[in-house]
Amino acid sequence: MYLVEERANPSSDFFVLPVVRSSGRPIVRCDFLDTPHAAELRNATVIFVRYVPRRWARLVASVRDSLSQLIFFMDDDLLDFAAARGMPLRYRLKLAHLATLRRRWLRDQGAMLWVSTPYLYEKYADWRPRLVQPVLSQPPGPDDLVQVFYHGSASHAAEIDWLYPVMAAALSAEPRLTFEIIGTKKINRRYRRLPRTTVVHPMSWPTYQAFIRTPSRQIGLAPLLDRPFNRARSCTKLLDITRAGAVGIFSPGPVCADVVEHGVNGWMAPLDSDAWVEAILLLTRDSELRRRLVDNAKACLAHLHGRSTIGM
């Protein structure tokens, strides 16, 4: 069974996948460019989720006689030009190219129609559609997902570049992992390619103070490349990460050496990509270790504050 989708999306997850999984048949999720060999489609079911890309249309037309089923699912009125009136022009052109103009093709290919609402079911009644109800799976519990974050400013462009392959590998290895990074449009264009990654627009310091206190972050990253400008920095990342209720992973060196003790109130990892992936995965999978390191980091900062106020 082949599920054709632009990318992972709520239409597939809430409507289509719960239905097809109940069949017990293996499911292959494909994007627009990921097409199998024609022979692999023999006796297969192909489901288009919302859109019919040109490459897949050509492939399906060439093997239609050997397919078991052909299905088109929509959860908006994608097959009527008039329904999109008032939407942004760029979006209307996308719908026309990938869905609306495929209406006759779908009928000619004998595609079944699946729809998400009674309105669509009645509007396209002559197609004898199937009404598919949404299914909400059990949301992840607090211990199911682990959020890693890096909140570096523009002065940390080198560290942001360095972290990309680290997070790509970590996210690939651990499906429970999510990642949050602060960055401009340039950073967003690059990091949005990673799964389960959120790019947050830069904000003012007062706004950030409230933002960092919102719960859900477990691991904060603080890599620091050995560059002249970085040698004079202070270990403020320990404060931000601890304020977030998270444990920090730091690079070795004089910047944090006086306040971060490896395995006690933080985690030190040499500036090697594999070492950082290993550290992220270790802390992701050991909630008790994370809790102990965070508690010790809070105690350490309280002690430092006490020392700094003596004699004032």
In a domain, 241, yes or no: yes
Same domain, 155 and 281: yes
Q: Is residue 247 part of a domain?
A: yes
Averaged pLDDT of the chain: 89
- What pLDDT, in 10s, does the model give residues 170-179? 999 999 999 9
Q: Higher pLDDT residue, 234 or 249?
A: 249
Co-location of 108 and 211 in the same domain:
no
- Tens of pLDDT along 139-148? 444 457 899 9
Most confident of 53-62, 153-162, 200-209: 53-62
Regarding whether 52 and 181 lie in a shared domain, the answer is no
Does one domain contain both 156 and 296? yes
Examine the pLDDT at 273 and tell me if it is beyond 70.
yes
In a domain, 141, yes or no: no
155 and 293 inside one domain: yes
Amino acid at 68: S
Q: Which pLDDT does position 9 carry in this prediction?
A: 87
138, part of any domain: no
- Quote the tokens at residue 261: 């003790």
Q: What is the pLDDT of residue 138?
A: 53
Number of domains in the chain: 2
Give yes or no: residues 46 and 21 share one domain.
Answer: yes
Same domain, 27 and 122: yes
Report the CATH number that the domain containing residue 188 is assigned in CATH. Answer: 3.40.50.2000
**Residue 133: pLDDT band by 50, 70, 90 thresholds?**
confident
Whether 137 is covered by a domain: the verdict is: no
User: What is the reported pLDDT for 65?
Assistant: 95
Range of the domain at 64: 2-131
Q: Confidence class of residue 8 from pLDDT cuts 50, 70 and 90?
A: confident
Supply the pLDDT for residue 143.
Answer: 55
**Together in a domain, 79 and 30:** yes
- Let me know whether 122 and 168 are in one domain: no
Using the 3D structure, point to which of 131, 158, 179 is the last residue of a domain.
131
